[in-house]
Amino acid sequence: MDWETTADRYRRFAEFEARGSSSCYELWAWGIASDNRLLSLIDRLPEEKRQPNLVLTAARYLGVGESSYPAFRDWVFQHWDDVARVVTARRTQTNEVGRAAVLLPALAQLAGPLALIEVGASAGLCLYPDLFSYRYDGRIDLHPAGGASGVMLRCVTSGEPPIPDRLPEVVWRAGVDLNPLDVSDADEMRWLECLVWPGQPERLRRLREAVAIARARPVDVVTGDLNETVTELVDAAPDGTTVVVFHSAVLAYLSVDERVRFERTIRSLPCHWLSNEGCGVVGSVAEQLPVPAQDTPGRFVVALDGIPLGYAGAHGQTLDWFRH
């Protein structure tokens, strides 16, 4: 078994993603990283299914509670067949609406009305940026035209991002996902809730509020491969709208060739391209960064039409703008 490769993956997750965000996940990931017996089980999974967030979420979905690492380890060994079954069947469709806060400054620069298309949309919760409330740096508040939203997104910024004074007008929304989640399905929404890390009650609360918005204003998320479907979705957008294709934490799950194909396709379409991915995920964006991608572990980069604008926290909690 190639323990070291998987161990490094869990070690990086503990150090650069879970630290400061979830003490429980940090503890468990560090434990797994040095536990050869558990690593050997994880290494029996397909490579794309070994990711920490997926394995830990599957355990929580099946009932493991917050605990010490030894207690967690014992539980996983006792339930490994079930964990492996859930990991194989599910995806990390986090649908983190907090990321809308780092996309908004770029989105608001575009002339409206907007037609939004999200690739890798999961349940489509991020397709409602105009229906969320925002608080930047604890002092700048933005609300939908109808008043404060139940979803309040808080973001700390640096570098003076162009925070708008009003939310964009969105008149059409659509999405695509390999396995769309249905907001009316209680079990699928429980999976989404389990993807919220332990110790993050605010994330859980705003997820539930976003689900309520999506249930009240359902959007069409089609089943399909993003490379096969994005062109027809752009073609379906209403005339007279500014079409924006966007995605967050999606392209990392594609092969390098598939990413290149997607970029080539999106640049050929009559739309804007708004991305929020790990710093090394989109090669053409990584080449333009002020700091090498390998020196910014755990961070995302927001880019508009392939031009990087700023670094973002993985869940939209921070935005460090560097484009002037």
Alpha carbon distances (Å) from 289 to 104, 218, 251, 264, 278: 20, 37, 18, 20, 12
The pLDDT of residue 296 is 72
Residue-wise pLDDT tens digits, 295-305: 677 789 999 99
| Residue ranges of domains in the chain | 3-89, 97-321
CATH class of 97-321: alpha beta
Percent of the chain past pLDDT 90, that is, above it, reads 86
Burial label for 227, CB within 10 Å (0-12, 13-18, 19+), is middle
Residue-wise pLDDT tens digits, 275-290: 999 999 999 999 999 8
Q: Which two tokens stand for residue 290?
A: 């002020």
The answer to whether 274 touches 266, Cβ cutoff 8 Å, is no
Instruction: Please determine, for residue 3, whether its predicted confidence score (pLDDT) is greater than 60.
Output: no
